[in-house]
Amino acid sequence: MDNDEERLTRQLDLARQLVGHLEVGNEDAASNVIRQLRIPYERELFDELGKLTRDLHEALNSFRGDSRLVELTRDEIPDAKERLHYVVSMTEQATHRTLNAIDEAMPIAESLHARSAELTESWVRFRHRELSVVEFREFARGLDVFFVASGEETERLRSLMSEIMMAQDFQDLTGQIIRRVIRLVHEVEENLVGLIRLSSARMEPSRVVQSANEAEDATVRGQGPIVPNTHDAVADVVSGQDDVDALLSSLGF
Amino acid sequence: MKILIVDDFSTMRRIIKNLLRELGFNNTMEADDGSTALPMLKNGNFDFLVTDWNMPNMEGIALLKAVRADPDLKSLPVLMVTAEAKRDQIVEAAQAGVNGYIVKPFTAETLKEKIDKIFERIDAQ
């Protein structure tokens, strides 16, 4: 309050001086007084401007420091796209593998069914003593052929079913890849939220950068399947079971 | 022969369970990660462990290390069936005392071959 009063008295005083100077036509003295009158307002303006500049500087710095976001856009997003493409082609392959096996198995099953129905019919006629000697001979020959063929064909069916079962491994492999992409999307989201927070009035420092770094030192943690044309290609990976066996045997396995 | 199958994907557990049944192993149980598997192993009288690597909570490599560190379980044969294909990881698993390592995708023949090999070695000791 005292300060305000002091300021007011001083300004009134200056105003009176200004009027005095103007009345006698002393321009130099008048503009000097005007400058003095402006000082308190200018100081406030400069203070505010300084604060704004500092805020802007800090915001730019922390944005530049958050290189994770840049890394995400430049490397991780295209990498994730490649992973998702790979998932599409893996699921496509698995479906074809399954359908191919079914395409082969279905006619085998149908033919087995038809031949056993035929033989059943002859068998019923035989039981009713309706078969002639010639027909019986043919029936016996047919049975011989059927026994051998059905053994082979059911074995083939078994192996086709096993093929269908193994084709389902795509769910695990693509699932691991998709989970990895979900983690990335989540990270991008967190970074974007951080960016919004940064550009809003409240200058909270983003904690997002830390969580990104945590994930990085985990080389020995599970990564999921190797996806071609991604960062995985750079890593030192084995190309298949033979490679694994060679590596293990070099370790004395 | 009682076998524990550990994988976070139920589809993969079913595949491995089916393959083991084809090989004549009918007594199998399942767990979806290391932290559920470990208590089962401690009380379950298992003879063999088949485990994935990349799982939530407790990964397969941590499970392997925990098994080797447990006086009652340390000689349990462990077969790793995983998509993890980095050389460093395979070396780490070997150093942690894994008995076999299969990379996904794998075939029924590979599984049979590795299991046979593990038991041959155990019998030879």
- Residue A162: is its pLDDT beyond 60? yes
pTM for the whole structure: 0.75
- Residue A92: is its pLDDT beyond 50? yes
- Per-residue model confidence (pLDDT) at position A202: 53
- Per-residue model confidence (pLDDT) at position B59: 96
Residues A48-69: tens digit of each pLDDT: 888 888 888 887 777 666 677 7
Residue A218 binned pLDDT confidence (cut-offs 50, 70, 90): low
Q: What's the CATH code of the domain at A130?
A: 1.10.287.500
Asked whether residue A106 falls in the same domain as residue A211, the answer is: yes
- Spell B56-94 as b/e; 16+ CB within 10 A means b: eebbbbbbbbbbeeeeebeebbbbbbbbbbbeebbebbb
Q: What residue numbers bound the domain in which A209 lies?
A: 70-233
Residue B18 binned pLDDT confidence (cut-offs 50, 70, 90): very high
Select from B15, B19, B98, B99 the residue whose CB has the most chain A CBs within 10 Å, as the one to mutate to test that interface: B15
Partners of residue A240 in chain B, C-beta under 8 Å: 103
What letter would DSSP give residue A201? Answer: S
Least reliable range by pLDDT among A66-70, A121-125, A235-239, B27-31: A66-70
Number of domains in chain A: 2
Asked whether residue A40 falls in the same domain as residue A92, the answer is: no
SS (H, E, C) A105-138: HHHHHHHHHHHHHHHHHHHHHHHCCCCCHHHHHH
Partners of residue B88 in chain A, C-beta under 8 Å: 219-220, 236
Helix (H) or strand (E) holding A220: none
- Residue A125: is its pLDDT beyond 90? yes
Q: Determine the straight-line distance between the first and last CA of chain B, rounded to whole angstroms.
A: 18
- Per-residue model confidence (pLDDT) at position B68: 97
Beta bridge partners of B28: B3
Asked whether residue A135 falls in the same domain as residue A206, the answer is: yes
Asked whether residue A14 falls in the same domain as residue A95, the answer is: no
C-beta separation of A76 from A184 below 8 A:
yes
Asked whether residue A136 falls in the same domain as residue A33, the answer is: no
Coil, helix or strand for A174?
helix
Nearest CB among A175, A235, A244 relative to B103 is that of: A244
Asked whether residue A29 falls in the same domain as residue A96, the answer is: no
Residues A139-153: tens digit of each pLDDT: 999 999 999 999 999
Coil, helix or strand for B100?
strand
Mean pLDDT of A223-244: 87
- Contact between chains at B83 and A226 (C-beta distance less than 8 A): yes
Asked whether residue A76 falls in the same domain as residue A144, the answer is: yes
Asked whether residue A194 falls in the same domain as residue A79, the answer is: yes
Select from A163, A176, A239, A243 the residue whose CB has the most chain B CBs within 10 Å, as the one to mutate to test that interface: A176
- Residue after which a domain boundary falls, among A63, A82, A114: A63
B2-124 adopts what CATH topology?
Answer: Rossmann fold (3.40.50)
